[in-house]
Structure 1
Amino acid sequence: MPRLTGRGVAVLVGGVVCVLLGQFLGYPVLRGIAGAALGAVLAAFLVTAKRPRVSVSREVYPERVRRGEAAFARLRVENPGTRRQGELTADDVVGVGFQAVTVRPLAPGAQAVYHYELPTDRRGRFQVGPLTMRRSDPLGLGASSQTTGDTTTLWVHPRVYPVRALAGGRPRHHHEGRTGDDPLHGSLDLRDVREYVVGDEVRHLHWKAVARTGQLMVREYTDPEQPRFTVLLDTRRPLSTPDGFEEAVDLAGSLLAASSLAGHHCRLVTPEALDVSERGGPVGTRRLLDELCQLAPCDSDSLVPTELARGGGRGGGHGGGLAVVLSGAVEADLGALAALRRHYSTTIVLVLGGMAPIELPDGMRRAEVDVPGVRVLRVSNAQDAARRWNTLVAA
């Protein structure tokens, strides 16, 4: 629908005033000026009323990028009509903003391809499109717009730093003692020796245990889904600044991506009941990063969800390694984190920006508080955390 611009409204009002003055004062010049002004406004309406007839297609490549990496859109505009299409200005919606593209005149059947960079400085899931085609008359008195084209999605994942995968499964013990500290790699790793029940494989009988106990004993092997790795990401709003929250998400994404690409069964948990479990591999990695891509701070009071405190939930029970990523901590969190360690073979807490001061009985305050039985790393940002993590895992 054509509309008048601010300049067009001013010309229209001026033309009407000139008509009235020319009529009452009897000046033909004013009537001539009024006619020219009103004619220009009418011409602007006629020019902008013609809807642009173009077909638009768009591609985003790559459709998933990490924060700060380059992403581009390829816009293809074609004139399928039999008449020449004049110059247009196209506004492509990118998230909550616009990307302006000047579409040059197109001959009948011609097409033009335009490339432009998309903003990736913010993490999130952003809609790209639809395209708003704008045209105006040469004098800028009128304008019209038309929304056309499809939409696509740009996923801006958190920034991922290179970190080592923390491997760990359920403790492996049997009647001959602990089998070792090597990571679990699948169904050939021995987890336990137990009494035989009807239906067990006879070839799994453990004859030394049978001789020792006088009962039929069989070997029980680990679930092929192991090793397991869980990340508890603190998303509570009162304890994090916007920059600190983004650093925490970057760190959680780095840890999960490393373990998932190493083939580990990974689980992401937040205080607001987000509980996502994925098998290792590129597909699982992408799904975990997609979840982190849309994560926002919450108003929860408790750090540890009930299911995680019990060692259950969709992640599938106990075992494996646990990394807790905090952008701040309070005294109430310390006991909850200490209680978690019995469910996991390794528990590491990473506190970004240090730990919040804690009130002591004597009225003093201190920020350096350790969690019993848990390794605590106090780091300045996600990059520092990745470096400290690699040193710890390598050791």
Structure 2
Amino acid sequence: MTERVGGDAVVVVVVAPDSFKGTASAAAVASAMARGVRRALGPAADVREIPMADGGEGTLDAVVAALGGAVRTAAVHDALGRPRTGRYGLAGGTAVVETAEGTGLPHVTDVALQPLRADSRGAGELVRATLDDGADEIILGLGGSASTDGGTGLLSALGARFLDDDGAPVPPGGAGLSEVASVDLAGLHPRARTVRWRVAVDVDNPLLGPRGAARVFAPQKGAGPEEVERLERGLDHLAQVLDAEELARTPGCGAAGGLPLSLGALLGARTEPGSSLVADAVGLPAALADADLVLTGEGCLDEQSLSGKVVAAVRALTPPGCAVVVVAGRVELSPAQVRAAGLTAALPITSGPVDLSALAARTPLLVEATTADACTLLHHRL
């Protein structure tokens, strides 16, 4: 605890949740948690609100808010080549881009999914806008992509040309990967190689194989069995052309349809665990240093939450002996699993099944009430 003037002890509580996807943003959840803390512990509690993300949805808003930057827009194309407006963030020399803002799956669900045609060009157009704005560091959050093109669309938007045996550009998307014979970088954006790349991933899948980009994620993007195998062969071929077989085996290279492959092979970019990258960017370690209680959360607490996600990152950064409580939309871990993960408790905001659309409007109130209950129960420890 810290002391204020007069010697009274002040309880320090850090609230650092991820978004509850589909119902509430990380900022909305953090605000609801803060209200719950003050309801239980009083208005004098030192509550530090730090909305978090794992590199996917919410990364842009969380990092830009923490850095005091601004959100801008740029004209881009969705994964099927249709014009749209995408957002990116700029804070000093640091830019924040979510690939889903340009090539996200939700933007193309109004038509039949086209897993072989979809590409990552829109993400590259956002990156190009940040380079034109003078960014010297790019935090690129991968997640929610509609494409499986190994990052060729993104690099094409930056001026690279992927050519076939005749020197003609290959078709966009995964359909053209097996035809790539060479890459022409003569027209590459002059700053693409000098900027510092920080590529945030929330998965550890390699590029190829049973856990790879095509076989795990392409079916979610509309690919049937034959299309999955075509995409697998295309990504394998691209890795060979780029002399990047070793990179293809690294954890995270299968994120966003294999987007790290071209970024790594051609620009030297390497992936980082998204939750750790965001925690560093928003100053979470310093905020946790003298915490008496830490509250985090996400929509569903399950086994994946314990590896590479926000809950795992928050727990790892919390000082020993400090209680860590998870407030979640659903809890799919047993009490024994919760304890084994080093968590004090995990509390769902509902007591049974509930319709997601009905839950959305009530999520902040339920988070606030559950947080207040947790703080009341733990008050004797603080």
- Interval of TM-score (by shorter of Structure 1 and Structure 2): under 0.3
Q: Normalising to structure 2: TM-score of the pair?
A: 0.22
Q: Normalising to structure 1: TM-score of the pair?
A: 0.22
Which structure has the greater CA radius of gyration?
A: 1
Higher RCO (CA < 8 A, seq sep 6+): 2
